[in-house]
Amino acid sequence: MAEQTFIMIKPDGVQRGLIGEIISRFEKKGFYLKGLKLVTVERAFAEKHYADLSSKPFFNGLVEYIISGPVVAMIWEGKNVVLTGRKIIGATNPSQSEPGTIRGDFAVEIGRNVIHGSDSVESATKEIALWFPDGPAAWQSALHSWIYE
C-alpha cells in the first residue's frame, strides 16, 4: 500500500478559514485524500493523540487548544507523504517555519500553529488507527499516471 499520513487542521485553522487553502496545497502537490472529517474531540481523546508529550509543561495548554473547537482530520496518501507533508507544514515553531510552508505563511505562535502532521510512518499508522478506526477510503485517482511515473 502507498504511504499514508495523518494531517489535522487545528481549531485555529478551522476558525480562521484556512481549511480550503490547506487541503488545496496537499491536493495540488499530487497527494490523494483518503479520509476527511470535521470533529470536536473529547479531552481524553486529545490526551491519547498527544500521549508522547504528556510530560511536557505545555501539555495541558496543548490539550485545551485541541479541544477548543472542531478540527479537520484527514488521511493523505502518496510517495513520501509523511516527510513531504512535514515539509509542506513547516517547522513546529512558526518563527522558524520558512515562508511558503503552511505555518510559515499562516502562523505566529507555537501554541497556535494551525496544523498537525504525523512525524514518522510509525506515528502515522498509530494516528490513522486512532482517528479513522474504519480505515481509509479505497478510491484511486484517474490522474495517477500523470503524477507518478
Coarse DSSP helix, strand, coil percentages of the chain, rounded to the nearest 5 percent: 45, 15, 40
Q: Which of residues 106-145 bind Mg ion (CB under 5 A)?
A: 119
Specify whether 116 is catalytic.
yes
Window contacting ligand GDP (CB under 6 A); options: 28-36, 107-115, 126-134, 135-143: 107-115
Q: Which residues does 126 contact at the CB level (< 8 Å), separation at least 6?
A: none
* Catalytic residue chosen out of the listed positions 116, 117, 127, 131: 116
Smallest distance from the beta carbon of 132 to Mg ion, in angstroms? 18
Instruction: State how far the Cα of 103 lies from the Cα of 86, in Å rounded to an integer.
Output: 10
Smallest distance from the beta carbon of 52 to Mg ion, in angstroms? 8
Contact string (CB under 6 A) for ligand GDP, positions 33-72, x = contact:
--------------------x----x--xx----------
Smallest distance from the beta carbon of 46 to Mg ion, in angstroms? 13
Cell of 122: 510509525
Instruction: State how far the Cα of 89 lies from the Cα of 106, in Å rounded to an integer.
Output: 10
Alpha helices in 67-117 (DSSP H): 81-89, 102-106
Supply the residues annotated as catalytic: 116
User: Which residues of the shown chain bind ligand GDP in the complex (CB under 6 A)?
Assistant: 53, 58, 61-62, 92, 110-111, 113, 116, 119
